[in-house]
Structure 1
Amino acid sequence: MIREQRFINDDWTFAYGEHPGAESEPPHPPRPEAARHDAAWYDIGLPHSFDLPDFREQRFYVGHGCYRRTVTINPEWTGQWIALEFLGVFQACEVFVNGRPVGRHEGGYTPFTVDISDAVVAGANEVFVRVDNLWNPRLAPRAGDYSFAGGIYRDVSLIVADRVRIDWYGIGVTTPDVGRERATVAASVEVVNDEPHPVQVDVAAVIADPGRTVAALPPVTRTIPARSRAVVELEGAVARPILWHPDQPHRYRLTASVSVEGTARDSQQTAFGIRSFEFTADRGFFLNGEHLDLHGVNVHQNRGGWGDAGTRASIRRDVAMVKDLGMNIIRGSHYPHHPFFAEECDRQGLLFWSELHFWGIGGEDVEGYWFASAYPVEEADEPAFEESLRRALREMVRTHRNHPSIVTWSIGNEAFFSDDKVIDKAKRLTGELVELARELDPTRPVAVGGAQRKGFDRLGDIAGYNGDGAELFHDPGIPNVVSEYHGVRGQGPGEYEVEWEHGVEVDYPWRSGKIFWCAFHYKSIADGAGLQGLADYWRRPRRPYHWYRERLRGIAPPEFPKPGWAVALRLSSDVDTIPTDGTGDVRIEVELVDTRGVRVVDDRAVTLTVVEGEGVFPSGRSITLAPETHSLWGGAGAIELRSYVPGVQRIRATADGLVPAELVAEAVGERKAPRARRLPPPAPSVAEPPRGQGKTSLAAYRPVSVSSAEPRFEGGNATSSGSGTFWRAANRDPGEWITAHLEFPYEISRIEVVFAEAPAHPWAVETSADGQRFEPLHRGEPGADSLSVHLDFPARPASRVRIAFPQQPIDIEEIRVY
C-alpha cells in the first residue's frame, strides 16, 4: 500500500475547560445526563487558538481546552499504520481515540505523531484531545517576551501507510560536495518494519527537476528484523546543478521508495536545495563561494485576530512581505516555526535562522509565570526541563533538516536571563545542546542567539548579539551576527526613517550581517512590548517598512493618505478562492475613501459581516475594526476570513455615514451536508499575571546606551551585577550620560546608583516612559551623596533610566531599578 495523508482541520468541536471523563463520551451524546456537558461545545476549525479573537490584549487565557472530531477509517486501511500528525499544540496535550489514551506530547512548537493503529476501527472513530497552556517549571520555555496562548494552532493530518514504510520525516538529504559542475547527494532513509517477521527491503531514490529526472541513487538491499527499523544510506550525484540562492531559489525533489520482493510498499518525497555556505570570523558570510551580506528581520508567528493560529496562506504572505523589503534572512524568533514557514523561505528565496526555545526575558524573575528564570531555580525541575529542550531540538532538526534556506540551528535567545545561582548550569546546558545539534546535523553550524552577556557567545559556532551587543563585541574573533537591533516603535503609521542604535549602520567585514527587531507587531506578556514591527499586528505595512524597501530595493514610498472626509468604503482581497481544508484564507482590506475614490485618514470603525456563506472571522460571522483596538488606522484595516464549508462567501463592510461595500470569494472543497454551527464566544477572562513580586533589578543585564565609553569600560558594565568593572565616559565634557534600557514599560518606585568614585560633580537621574522624552527625578550634588545612592519615590511609568552629568561624568559601577 502506498501512503495517504490528508488534512483533518475541519469539523472539530471545542470547549474551554478540562472536562474530565469527556474523552469517553460520544460527540452527540444520546444520554440526557450528558446534554448539559455537550452544550459547552462549539464548532471550530483548525488552526485554532484559545484566544480568539485576538486584538493584542496583554492578558490571555491560561488553562485547559478540549477538542473532538469524528475520523472515518476506510475498511481497507485496517491493519495498516495509521497516525495523527500534529504540527503544533501549545503546550501539553493528551490524545484519546474511542475513549482510549493513545499519546501525550509536551512542548508547544514542534511536530509529532500519535500512532492510532490499534485504537481505530473501520468506520467512525472519535478523537479527543485535551490541551493545556499552564506554565510548567519543567517545560521550556519558562520565560519569554511573547504570548503563550494555548490550542491546536497548527495543522492536523491523518496518515495511513504500510507496516513496512519510510518513517515519519524519515528522509534526510545532504549535499557533501557542491560544485558548479557536479554535486554529490546523500540520502538517509529510515525504514520501519512493523511486521512480526524480518523483511528484505530494496530502497531506491531518484532526484528530479520539474518534468525530468536528473539522477538516480543506486538501490540498496537490506534485511530488517521484525518490529524494528534501520537507516539505509544512498548516494548519487547531480551534474551541473542549479545552486540554491535567494536570487534563484531552485529546489530539487527526491523520491525515496521501499519495495519488498518487487512490490512497492511505500514512497515519500522531499524537496531540497544544493548550496554551500560558510560563516567566517573575519570576512562575514559566504553562499556558494560568494560573499553575501545578511540583512533580515525577526519574525513571530502570531497575528491580528487569529493569534498564533495562522494558516499556510498567511505564512506565505508573511515571507513574501519580507522578500518584498529586499531582505535575505529571517530569524524564527524564538522557537521552532511551522515546517511550512521554512518551506516558503526555500521557495521564495530567504535564508532562515531556525531557533530553539531556551528563552529568557529578564525583569522580575518570578516563578509561576513566563517572567521566570530561563533555567530552573529548583534542582528537582532540572532533569525534565533539560530533556524537554533535547526532545524539541531533535524534533526541530528532524522535521526541518532538508530545507536549503536553513543555515543554522540556534539554541535559544537570551538564556543568560537565568538566576545568577544557576547561570553555570544554563551555560552547561547550552553547550550540551550545541553538541547535540552538531551530532544531529553535522552540516550546519550552531548559533547561540542573544548571547551578549555572561559569556554565552563563546558556547556555539556563531554568536548572535542583541541590542547593545552590536557595540560591545567589536571584532570578537568568532563568526557573529547582530541577531536583534531596534529602530521603530509604536502603533499606527510610525515615522518614515528608521533610527538605528548601537552602531549597526556600519557594515564591518567581520560581521556576517544584522537582523532587525522585528518584521511585525506581536502580542506579549510584557506591558508595552511587541510594537517594534515594520508592519503592524494585522500585517499592514507601516511607514518604516517603505523606508527599508526604498533603501534596499530603490522603490519609492507610496503617497501616504492624508486627513479627509470619507463618503464610502472600498473592499479588496488578495485571492478569490479559499480552500476549505484549513490551509488557506482570504485577506480582506477595507479602505475609507472620499468622493474621488482616494483613501483618506478618517478612522471611523468598520464592521465586516458574512452575509452569505459559512465563512468565519476570528470573532465569528462579523468583526469590527476600529482605532480603539489599533486594527484600523490611516483610513484602512485588514483581516483574514476562512471557510471550512464550500460555497459563495459574500462579505459586507459598513460604517456610520458611509456607503457600504461588498466583496465575494469562493470557498472550494469537498461538499458537506448543511448543519447548524455554533461558534465559540470570546475566551474566558483570566487572572492578572504576577507583578511587583520580583526582587531582581529590572535593569539587570539589559541593554545600555551611552554618550561615550572608554574601551573596556562600556556601558553594559553598569547593568552587570558583580562584573568587577564599571562605565567610564571617553570624554570628560559636560553633557555625558548613560541610559539603562528596561526594554518594557514598568511602574518603577526605586532606583539605586552605585558610583565607582566619590561624586565630585553634579549628576541627575531622569526617567522616560516612551524612550523619547525624559523627566527629571533627582539631582545629586558633589559630596552630598555616598558611593551608593538609594532613591525611593511614588511609582512612575518608565522604560528607560538615564544618569546625566551637566558638568563632568562620574564613573558608575551599577544602576539598579525596581
Structure 2
Amino acid sequence: MNKEMNQPLRERLLMDSDWKFALGHASDIKRDFDYWKGKPFAKQAEGRGAIHPDFDDSDWREVCLPHDWAVELDFEHSSDNDIDYHGYKPIGRPNPATSIGWYRKPFSVSPDDKGKRLSIEFDGIFRDSQIWLNGYYLGRHESGYTSFRFDITDCVSFDGPNVLVVRADASQVEGWFYEGAGIYRHVWLVKTNPMHVAHWGTYVVSEVGDGFAELTLHTTIVNEDDLGNTGTIESAIYDADGHCVATVQSETQPIGAWKEQEFIQRVRVEQPRLWDLDSPHLYRLVTTVREGEAPTDVYETSFGVRSIHFDPDLGFFLNGRHVVIQGVCCHQDHAGVGAALPDRLQYYRIEKLKEFGVNAYRTSHHPPTPELLEACDRLGMLVMDEHRQVGVGEEIANQLRSLVRRDRNHPSIILWSIGNEEGGIQDTEAGARAAKTMKRIVHELDPTRLVSYGGNNGGQSAGINGVVDVRGWNYWKIGANLDEYHKEHPQTPMIGSEEASTLCTRGIYENDEQRGYVSSYDENFPGWGSGSEEWMNYYEKRPYLAGAFVWTGFDYRGEPLPYRWPCISSQFGIMDTCGFPKDNYYYYQSWWTDQTVLHLFPHWNWTGKEGQDIDVRCFSNCEEVELFLNGRSIGRKQMPHLGHLSWMVPYEPGVLLARGYRDGQEIASVTKETAGAPSELRLLPDRIAINADGEDVSCIAVQIVDDLGRVVPIADNEVVFTVSGPGVLIGVGNGNPSSHEPDKYIEPGAVWRRKAFNGLCMAIIQSTQQEGVLCITAESTGLAAAKVTIDTKACTLRPSVQQVEAANLIF
C-alpha cells in the first residue's frame, strides 16, 4: 500500500462487465454511427457519433466480455471462400453489415488516483481495432491475436464518468479458419505509481544444476515522471506453498525522467522443485520497487524451473528425461461460445486433452490467449507458441516482439514458431532472410528456447527451413524422405509440427456426402494426411523425430473438409467441438497413456441390417482381446503394437462384449448393447461447484438414454434448457459438423434449445456474482426431464486459478 495515500501500489482491474455493443457498417456511414462523417481523426474530443462521450447508446445491447459477435450470426450458404473457411458466418468484406462491431463502456476513476499512471490493456480484439477514451483517439491495433495497451493518464477524467469506445473491423481476415469477431479476450485497467515495473517487464531465466537452480532475473523499471530518480528493487522467490526460498536486493541505480533501466540479478534456489508434466510446480517472483525507502510498486511473475533440450538424434528432453512429444494442434474456438472462451474453458480443454495422453499443444496458427498458457503452466502441458505469419515489416516484427515478451516466462513453452505454411515465400531466399530476422528478434528477447516453423514443403532445405533451429514437418508424406533428410542435416533437430489430418465424425460409420459426415473408421484423410495408426508407426521407428502435433485436438469451426455445405466445421478433431471423444480418442489413449484401455466400436443399433456384416473394431493396449456376441465367442486375437483389432460380425440385436487380457489374465471388459427407444435425459456436469464471480463455468453434458439408462447412440431429440438461480446459459452445442442451429440465443426471453447429435449435446452455464444453488433443467418432448444443481460460492481468486473437484463423465 502507498502509505501517504493509503492506496494499493499497483492495481489490475478486470473490465469485462457493463459494455454496450452494436453492429456498425463497413460502407454505410449513417449505419456506422457517423464514423467517417464524424471526422474521428481531425480534432481530439470532437468526434461525432459513437465516438463522442455523450452519444446515446441506450438501444445498444448489453454484453460482457469476452464477446464474439460472429458466433451470434446466422449461417449463410455462399460460394465465397472467406465465408466458407470461416464456418459460413457472414464475416468479411462481402458482408459490410455484419463485419464492423462497436463497443462502449463507462467507468469511473477516483480522484485519489491522480498522480498515478493509468493504462488500458487488451488481451486481444479481432480485428483492426481503433480505441477512443472520452473522445480522445488512443490508437489502432491491427492484429487480431496479439495483446496491447494504451496509456490513458492524460485523457482520463477523475471527476466524472469516462467512456471507452472500441471499433473492431473484421472485414479483413487473417487466417483461413474461423477467427471470431470483437473483443473476445479480457480488458484490464492498470494503475501504477510513476516508477514501476514496465509492461511485461520481468524475465526469469533458470539454469538447473545438481541440487540447485541459478536464476537470472531481468527486470525493467520505468520512471514516467518529469523528475529523475533513483531506484532499487527487491526480488523474492516463493514456492507454490507460499514459502520464500530466496531473496536478492539490487544496488541503487539512477533512472532518468521518462527513462527505463534494466536491473539484472542472480539468485540461487536450493533443491528446486522442477516444473514437469506430472508435477507442474510454479514459483512466484515478487518484485518490489523502492524509491529511497518508500515502495512504489509490487509486481508478481509466475515462472517455473526446468531444463529443455532438443537432440538431433534422440528428440526432446525435459529435465534431462527423454519425452516423446504427443501433441495436438488446436484453434481457439469452442462449441457454444465461438472464440470468446471464459477462462475455465481453457482449463476444461487442456484437461480433456491430458485425459487421452496429450502432453504438448501447438497454438495454431497465432498467439494464444494468456489464460490458455496459464492453464498449460498449471496443468502440465508443453507448448509450441506460434506467431501469426512470417514477415519483416515493422508491424509484423512488433507483433512477434509482443508475443515473446508477453509469454517468455511460461515454463510450458518449449518452442517458438515463427509461422506456418507460407507457400509464397517458404522456399525462397527472401523467405530465408525474413526467417533469419525473426529468429534474431526471438533470440534477442529469449535466448533459452529454439525457433521452429511449420513447413509443408517436404524435403526443401532452402528458404525458411534452412534458417530455423528445429525443422518442423507438416506431414511426412509430402515429397520427402525424412531418413535421407536427417542424414543430410545431422545437426538439425526435427519435429512433426503437424500430422495426421484424419477425418472422422463422432458416432458415424459410413461416409455421407449429402449430410456432410465422415466415417469414424480412421480411413479418411486428405492426400497430405494419414491415418492415426499410419503416422504413429512411422514416427515410432524414427527416434530422431521428437514426436508430433496431430491436426487437431478438437474439431473447429470453418475449413470444412472433405465436404463443404452443409458442413460448417472441420472434422479433423480427435474430439468434437464440445470435447466429446471420437473413437480415435481411444486409439491415442491406448498408446499415449499407461492406463488400461479397451474401447469397442461401432455402436450396436443397426435396425434394418440384420444378418449383414458389421465391421467391429477395438482400440486397446491389452495384449489380447476376445469378442462375444450374445454370449458366443467371435474370436480371440492378439493386439498388434500401435494397431487395432477387427472382426466382421453379422448383425443381430443384443450385446457385444469384449474381454481384454494381459499375461493370460482378464484385466478389462466392455460392452456395446442395442439400446432401446429414447426414454429420458441425463445431465452430467463437469463441475458441481463453481465460483460466484460472474465468469466461472460448468459444462453440462446431456445424454439421451433408454429406459435401462443406456445412451441411445442414434438419438437426435431436441433438448430445451432452463436455468434458475445465480447462473446463466452462455452457449449450447452438440458436435454435429453440419448443424445450423444457434450456439447462442441473444434475444430477451428466448428459449435455449439444441438437438442431440448421436445421443449427446451440451450446455455451458456461467455463474453470476451471487452465491447460492443454480438449477439446470433439460426437457424434451416425450422424454423424462432431468435436473442438476451447481453450487456457486464466493471466491477471492480468478476462476482459472481455483481448483474444483470434477464430476466423472462417462460417454
With normalisation by structure 2, the TM-score equals: 0.73
Q: Check the 8 A contact 1:90/1:152 in 2, yes or no.
A: yes
In 2: Cα distance, 1:75 partner to 1:669 partner = 30
SS of equivalent residue, structure 1 residue 269: strand
1:418-817 matched pairs, under 5 angstroms: 418=425, 423-453=428-458, 454=460, 455=462, 456-468=464-476, 472-474=481-483, 475=486, 476-477=489-490, 478-486=492-500, 488-493=502-507, 495=520, 499-501=532-534, 504-525=538-559, 528=563, 530-553=570-593, 554-556=595-597, 557=599, 562-579=674-691, 583-601=695-713, 602-611=715-724, 615-618=728-731, 619-620=744-745, 622-626=751-755, 632-644=756-768, 646=770, 649-665=774-790
User: What amino acid is aligned across from residue 482 of structure 2 in structure 1?
Assistant: F
User: What amino acid is aligned across from residue 535 of structure 1 in structure 2?
Assistant: M
Distance apart, 1:577 and its partner CA: 4.5
Distance apart, 1:149 and its partner CA: 2.3
1:259-270 matched pairs, under 5 angstroms: 259-270=290-301
Distance 1:608 1:424, change over 3 A: farther
Q: Check the 8 A contact 1:59/1:525 in 2, yes or no.
A: no
Q: Check the 8 A contact 2:68/2:339 in 1, yes or no.
A: yes
Verify: 1:203 aligned to 2:233, yes or no.
yes
Distance apart, 1:16 and its partner CA: 0.7
1:15-54 matched pairs, under 5 angstroms: 15-17=22-24, 18-21=32-35, 38-39=58-59, 41-53=60-72
Distance apart, 1:303 and its partner CA: 0.9
Distance 1:612 1:258, change over 3 A: closer
* Structure 1 residue aligned with 2:738: none
SS of equivalent residue, structure 1 residue 52: helix
Distance apart, 1:669 and its partner CA: 6.8
Distance 1:8 1:561, change over 3 A: farther
In 2: Cα distance, 1:519 partner to 1:239 partner = 38
User: What amino acid is aligned across from residue 594 of structure 1 in structure 2?
Assistant: D
User: What amino acid is aligned across from residue 472 of structure 1 in structure 2?
Assistant: N
Distance apart, 1:102 and its partner CA: 1.9
2:170 aligns with one of 119, 133, 140: 133
Distance 1:644 1:561, change over 3 A: farther
In 2: Cα distance, 1:670 partner to 1:514 partner = 39
SS of equivalent residue, structure 1 residue 642: strand
In 1: Cα distance, 2:422 partner to 2:674 partner = 45
With normalisation by structure 1, the TM-score equals: 0.72
In 2: Cα distance, 1:484 partner to 1:167 partner = 36
Q: Deviations over 1:605-649 (max 9, x none)?
A: 2122335556132413543222xxxxx323111132234553654
In 2: Cα distance, 1:229 partner to 1:43 partner = 40
Q: Deviations over 1:675-710 (max 9, x none)?
A: xxxxxxxxxxxxxxxxxxxxxxxxxxxxxxxxxxxx
1:287-436 matched pairs, under 5 angstroms: 287-358=318-389, 386-418=393-425, 423-436=428-441
Distance 1:560 1:118, change over 3 A: farther
In 1: Cα distance, 2:216 partner to 2:730 partner = 46
Q: Check the 8 A contact 2:195/2:221 in 1, yes or no.
A: yes
In 2: Cα distance, 1:132 partner to 1:640 partner = 28
Answer with 14-23 or 429-438: which moved more: 14-23
In 1: Cα distance, 2:791 partner to 2:261 partner = 47
Distance 1:207 1:280, change over 3 A: same
Distance apart, 1:434 and its partner CA: 1.5
In 1: Cα distance, 2:213 partner to 2:700 partner = 45
Distance apart, 1:536 and its partner CA: 0.3
User: What amino acid is aligned across from residue 716 of structure 2 in structure 1?
Assistant: D
SS of equivalent residue, structure 1 residue 617: strand
User: What amino acid is aligned across from residue 228 of structure 2 in structure 1?
Assistant: P
Distance 1:345 1:480, change over 3 A: same
Q: Check the 8 A contact 1:163/1:194 in 2, yes or no.
A: yes
Distance apart, 1:13 and its partner CA: 1.1
Verify: 1:221 aligned to 2:252, yes or no.
yes
Q: Deviations over 1:146-190 (max 9, x none)?
A: 113221111111111111111122111001x31131211011111
User: What amino acid is aligned across from residue 656 of structure 1 in structure 2?
Assistant: T
In 1: Cα distance, 2:572 partner to 2:759 partner = 21
Q: Check the 8 A contact 2:456/2:475 in 1, yes or no.
A: no
Distance 1:561 1:570, change over 3 A: farther
Q: Check the 8 A contact 1:204/1:220 in 2, yes or no.
A: no
Q: Deviations over 1:705-731 (max 9, x none)?
A: xxxxxxxxxxxxxxxxxxxxxxxxxxx
SS of equivalent residue, structure 1 residue 504: helix
SS of equivalent residue, structure 2 residue 231: strand
RMSD between aligned alpha carbons?
A: 2.8
Distance apart, 1:89 and its partner CA: 0.7
Distance apart, 1:603 and its partner CA: 1.8
Distance 1:230 1:583, change over 3 A: farther
In 2: Cα distance, 1:578 partner to 1:231 partner = 41
Higher relative contact order (CA 8 A, sep 6+): 1
In 1: Cα distance, 2:246 partner to 2:554 partner = 42
In 2: Cα distance, 1:562 partner to 1:358 partner = 50
* Structure 2 residue aligned with 1:277: 308
Q: Check the 8 A contact 1:416/1:426 in 2, yes or no.
A: no
Distance apart, 1:481 and its partner CA: 0.3
Identical amino acids, percent of aligned pairs:
29
Count of equivalent residues: 629
User: What amino acid is aligned across from residue 20 of structure 1 in structure 2?
Assistant: D
Q: Check the 8 A contact 2:501/2:552 in 1, yes or no.
A: no
Q: Deviations over 1:355-394 (max 9, x none)?
A: 11117xxxxxxxxxxxxxxx7xxxxxxx7xx323211111
In 1: Cα distance, 2:673 partner to 2:193 partner = 59
* Structure 2 residues not aligned, in runs of 5+: 3-8, 25-31, 41-46, 76-85, 93-98, 509-519, 523-530, 564-568, 600-669, 732-743, 797-811
SS of equivalent residue, structure 2 residue 403: helix
